[in-house]
Structure 1
């Protein structure tokens, strides 16, 4: 009798384990997901969960097919109404994307929150990829993504400078009325460093309004903008009209470079490609 009871117990344990695995698989593929972060959205799409995504924030621009998904606003200014209207089972993004009051509203509506932290480094990106894939039940896809990322990072490393790091100033522009420069401990500074450059400004974190005096004092070798930011200024000619630009080394040499914003700052699966592109532009 004891042998029979032990065998039955073992059978029940195995059955429960199998059911749990199946449940995780069903949850990963059948639940409706709203992603409020471009990097997390990109990872979800890369691990095969794009069909489950019913809504995204405006930073979710890659792959391009995500642009056709319903929008819930910008991750810096989300409201519960837009998210709840899509009736998701899960809302995911970075912990910095969801304010406490919004988290309470979503939880009260029975919506599960799956939030991650992001470290602005190559290792941090690998960690995020694995965490997202593990949380949504697709660990094998994560390892394939990490393998591709490692190859891209190795290729990018061959392009980065080891000496003579150019001073790069990043300007966030939305027309001449909104112009900010990226300080220390920002995604832009980290990317500039990874690509073999150095931030032209020091002494403050986050972003500060651009002034002609600060621009001249920084005297960058290169000025970097998002592609959309350059367009908002009317192109390179518009940037040169900004007071102080033509007094810098970058302005005199017309060394202005642009990149897609999400690629440049996402620290996602395309990090190696982003570093390589920026490094190549800094060298040219």
Structure 2
């Protein structure tokens, strides 16, 4: 699972530069700005830090940290291949990361460095996102983080219940030769459910290779992809050439949704925006 999910995270780095649903909630201006020198190795954490007023203190990030637009920080690469030396060369005072992503060797070296390390237990749900925001805020002694969470919840409350839940199949692509589908217990299954759809591949967990047989058995009404993934196979026309796609309801109706990767699956402060946008597209 870690290998496949790491590939998924890597893809986010090459996603379209389209930036959707910017969260305009601001934290209390009375919060004291920290002087921390921050390295963030997770896109959702980076977005949270920026929302909390720490954008200018972020000096290094991983490839999934592609938002907010214009973030001025050194891109250190993918968290599974980043070296401790490249992080420590920036002389950070605090390092943030998700415990789901961290390379064990990197984790050991960072702990040995004695630099403050904040490992966040990221859960892909609305409550998990609230917990992430709360944990990051408290680590920086930020008090007024609740408006960020309230904004997410307010937007989630506007997600419309669909009369008939469409069956949605998420396909991860890096060219036509590398196609995977998302099963249970993945960020994609969770966002599909939150947005009012039904994950079409619920007979397995994690990700597995796409096969014509799986397409026929799942028969999705909608195919969901990262916009970078759809572009890598030649757009909708290229997708329809993949064996089995045209036999599905989604293929017959050319019902394909593409969204920017980190925005769709990051489960950070823009979760509410992403869920609302996907819900509208599913309608």
Task: Tell me if TM exceeds 0.5.
Answer: yes
8 Å Cα contact 1:58-1:72 kept in structure 2: yes
Q: CA RMSD in A?
A: 1.5
Q: State the partner residue of 1:70.
A: 74
Contiguous gaps of at least 5 residues in structure 2: 1-30
CA distance in structure 1 between the partners assigned to 2:202 and 2:180 by the alignment: 14
Q: What CA distance in whole angstroms lies between the structure 2 residues aligned with 1:239 and 1:139?
A: 47
Q: Partners in 2 of 1:217 and 1:257 — Cα distance?
A: 20
Question: Residues 1-284 of structure 1: matches in 2 within 5 Å?
Answer: 29-66=34-71, 68-140=72-144, 142-156=145-159, 159-161=160-162, 163-283=163-283
CA contact (8 A) 2:100 2:122 kept: no
**Partner Cα distance (1:30, 1:152) in 2:** 32
How far did residue 79 of structure 1 move? 2.1
Deviations 1:83-104 (A, max 9, x none): 1222212110211222332122
SS of residue paired to 1:130: helix
**Contact conserved, 1:103 with 1:113, CA < 8 A, in 2?**
no
Greater fraction helix: 1
TM-score by length of 1: 0.85
Q: Find the residue that maps to 2:257 and give its secondary structure.
A: strand
Instruction: Report the Cα distance in structure 2 between the residues aligned to 1:136 and 1:160, rounded to whole angstroms.
Output: 38
Structure number with greater CO (CA < 8 Å, separation at least 6) is 2
TM-aligned CA deviation for residue 199 of structure 1: 0.9
1:147 Cα offset (Å): 2.1
Question: In the aligned structure 1, how far is the partner of 2:227 from the partner of 2:267?
Answer: 18
Whole-Å separation in 2 of the counterparts to 1:280 and 1:160: 11
Would the aligned equivalents of 2:79 and 2:103 in 1 still touch at CA under 8 Å? no
User: Do the aligned partners of 2:80 and 2:103 also contact (CA within 8 Å) in 1?
Assistant: no
Runs of 4+ residues deviating >6 angstroms: none
Deviation of 1:110 (Å): 2.7
TM-score, normalisation: structure 2: 0.85
Which segments of 5 or more consecutive residues in structure 1 lack a partner in the other structure? 1-24
Query: Alignment partner of 1:91: what SS?
Result: strand
Alpha-carbon deviation of 1:54? Answer: 0.3
Using the alignment, how far apart are the partners of 1:176 and 1:281 within structure 2? 25
Give 1:61 deviation, angstroms: 1.1
Hey, what's the Cα distance between the residues in 2 that align with 1:101 and 1:139? 34
Q: Which protein shows a greater Rg?
A: 1
DSSP-derived class of the 2:114 partner: coil
Q: Is the 8 A contact 2:175 2:229 kept in 1?
A: yes
- In 2, Cα distance between equivalents of 1:80 and 1:194: 36
Query: How far does the alpha carbon of each residue in 1:160-185 deviate from its partner, in whole angstroms, 9 at most, with x for none?
Result: 31x31111000000111211000011
User: Aligned partners of 1:131, 1:109: CA distance in 2, in Å?
Assistant: 22
Give the corresponding residue for 1:10: none
